[in-house]
Each structure stands twice: as C-alpha cells, then as structure tokens.
Structure 1
Amino acid sequence: MKYTRVSALAALGLAATLSLTACNGDDSGSDAAANGSSSSSSAGSSSSGSGQTSQDGAKSEGGSGSGGSEAGDGKSGSGSKVEAGAGSGASKTGKVTFCKTADLAIDAADAAPDESTGRIDVTMINRGSTTCSATGFAGVDIKDEDNTSNPVGRGHAQPRVTTLKPGDAAVFNLAYDIDSSGDSLSHPTNLLVTPPNETHSVTLKWPEGAGAIKGAYTDVEVYPTHNTN
C-alpha cells in the first residue's frame, strides 16, 4: 500500500516537473520569437531608415549639383559680360570725348574757288570748356524748296585726326559742279548737319551766293573734317 502511494506521488511529481518544464520551454520560445520579431522589426526599421537617409543624401547631392551648375552659369555669364565689355572697346571710348553738337558753333559759307567748281565750307568752333574730337565725316542732308531732304554721299578721302581745344575750329567741305545754264533742277534752301560721332543735328541756311548744283543732289560730296590751323 505504501509502495503504491509512493509510486503515485512520484508519478504526480514527475508530471508536475514535466508540466513546469514544458511551460518554461514555451515561454522561452515565445520570448525568443518575440525577441526575434523585435530584432527583425528593429533591423527592418534601421534598414528602412538607412534607405531614407540614402535617398535624402541623393536628393541633397542632386540639389548641390544643381546649385553648383547655376553658380557656374552665373560666373560664366558674368565672365561673358566682362569679356564683351572689354571686346567692345569701352575703355577706349572712355578716354575719347567726342564734340557734342550743343558745344559747337556751326556755320556754312560759300568758298567756291572758281565759276565751275562749287564748294561750301562748314566751320565748327568748340564753345565747350574741354578738348574734344571732331574726327571723321559729318552727316549732311540738303533740304530742297519742295521740303524733300537728300543725303550727301562721302567723297574719297581718309579722315584726319581733328582735335579741338576750347575756341579751336574745324572745317569740312561740300563739293559739287556748278550749273551755269540756269536750268538746274536743284533749289536748295537748307543744310542739315550732324557732327561726326553725334546724333543731334543743326539746320543751316544754304549759303547766299553759292552756285547752282549741276546734276542731282547725289552728285554732291562731303569730305572729312580737318583743323583750320
């Protein structure tokens, strides 16, 4: 009888031990699974975060590259402007002061050397306070009594350097053939004169006593300026 009870108790103890062992094993498995799941989740999150960082980095580099390109273009553009300014000779024109129409006293006079050669001298006196240049060809239009305006072509001559100190004078000439027949079709009334390198003109009366123009206004020629002294 005692043996039977001992056996029964031993069996109960063994069952309890096995039960506890089984429970502990399940908990460890659950914990391990949980830990594994957590680790996987953490790893996944870390991997995902790493991927995000990489993407952000790529965007940042792209932005930097784009900005660098824009900065480069800006520098290039600036360089082009500087080169264009240098190429245009801005520094040279800065050293040269051309005579302004407003600073010139301009007059026209008949200067025909004979009865067949017509010549008009247009004199420009520097009334300004600084030295200026009147080098080159003046622009000249002849206005007819019918109110038409006709440009005068340039004669075959090379311009001469013409520098005017305050009070100095320069002159240029209009040349043409005189029509002595009395049948000239030209009836000039005025000269519209634009000094060299200027855009503003003055209107002068056709010189009294100047001979009639032979042919058309296109036969008149203007010659470069030169100093009078």
Structure 2
Amino acid sequence: MRYRILTLTLAAAALAGSTAAFTGAAGANVPWCNTSRIQASVTAGEQLGSNLRTAQITLRNISSETCRTQGYPGVDLAVWGQPGQHAVRNGATSHLIELDPGQSAAATLTYKFGATDWIANELVVTPPDNTRPLRLYWDWRKLGSVTFDQPGAVTISPLRA
C-alpha cells in the first residue's frame, strides 16, 4: 500500500510538473513584435564577390515588453517611393525569437551591384507577420547600387538572434 501511494504521489507530481512546464511555454502570452514595437536599421555587410554584396537589416525591440518574431522580413528596394526590386526569400529555416526590450534580430540581404545598375534610395522593411512597413534610407555610396530586374538579384535570409 505504501508503495502504491508513493507511486501515485510521484506520478501526480510528475504530471503537475509537466503541465506547468507546458503551460509556461505555451501560455507565456508574449506578444508578436508588431511594427510599432520595432526600429529598423541597415548597415553594410560583406563583399562576397566582384558584384555581390550583403547588408544587415536589424530589427530592434524598442518597446518596454518582450515580444516574439519569426520568419522573413518583407524587403523592397525603392526609388522615391516607387516600388522597385523585391527581395526573394533564400529558403533557410526560421526559428522563433524572443526579443527583450533593446534586443535585436537581423536578416542578411544579399544583392548584385554594379556601376550601371539601378540606384535605390529607400529600403522598405516589413517585420514578419505585419502589414505596416518601416522605411529606411538606402545610402548607395556605402551600400552600392542594386542590379535591377534580374531573377535572384536580391535575396533575404530569415531573422536570427
């Protein structure tokens, strides 16, 4: 009898512990990082080849609460507000990211460039699972001009912490 009570007590404790762990992970109620919680920036990355470069697009949580995000930001290069080159997803796997206040996640933009190419002056970034974009200045002197209208000329990676 004592063995049976101990077994039931341990089973109940294990069940309570696993339920608590499950509830903690699933019920964290951490909101998604919507555009109003995010500040975007772009910086020059690497030169990968004679006409291939990268830039880092960083999304920083500017709110006072932790938020979560996952996936690819929408990215478009534009000229004076007119749509231009859309970045195609590179196919890499994305992972859920929780951003505490002040923390950032980044995606890599890879693009072809050259002297006679289309010159963007704006980068339009839409955080994952959002519809309102953030507009950034594309400094072509630092980031380069972008080869336009070529399949795969501009690709984007998923966000990573």
TM-score (norm 1): 0.52
Residue 157 of structure 1 aligns with an amino acid whose one-letter code is A
CA distance in 1, matches of 2:80, 2:67: 35
Offset from partner CA, 1:88-145 (integer Å, 9 cap, x none)? xxxx799452101111121111112345321111111111111111211111111025
Query: Alignment partner for residue 126 of structure 1, among 54, 58, 61?
Result: 61
Secondary structure of the residue that 1:226 maps to in structure 2? coil
| Greater RCO (CA < 8 Å, at least 6 residues apart) | 2
Q: Which residue of 2 aligns with 1:67?
A: none
Alignment of 1:100-111 (within 5 A): 100-111=34-45
After superposing on structure 2, the runs of 4+ consecutive aligned residues of structure 1 that deviate more than 6 Å are none
**Which of the two has greater helix per residue?**
1
Alignment of 1:1-229 (within 5 A): 95-114=29-48, 116=50, 117-144=52-79, 147-179=82-114, 182-184=115-117, 186-207=118-139, 208-214=141-147, 216=149, 218=151, 219-227=153-161
What percent of counterpart residues are identical?
24
Secondary structure of the residue that 2:46 maps to in structure 1? coil
Q: CA deviation at 1:198?
A: 1.0
Offset from partner CA, 1:146-182 (integer Å, 9 cap, x none)? 8333322111211122210111111111102232xx2
Extract unaligned runs of 5+ from structure 1: 1-91
Residue 126 of structure 1 aligns with an amino acid whose one-letter code is N
Secondary structure of the residue that 1:112 maps to in structure 2? strand
Contact map agreement 1:138 1:225 (CA 8 A) in 2: yes
Which one has the largest radius of gyration? 1
**Which of the two has greater strand per residue?**
2
Secondary structure of the residue that 1:209 maps to in structure 2? helix
TM-score (norm 2): 0.72
Aligned length: 133
CA distance in 2, matches of 1:102, 1:176: 28
Offset from partner CA, 1:194-224 (integer Å, 9 cap, x none)? 1011111111011341123235364201110
Change (3 A) 1:212 1:105: same
CA distance in 1, matches of 2:97, 2:126: 16
CA distance in 1, matches of 2:81, 2:128: 27
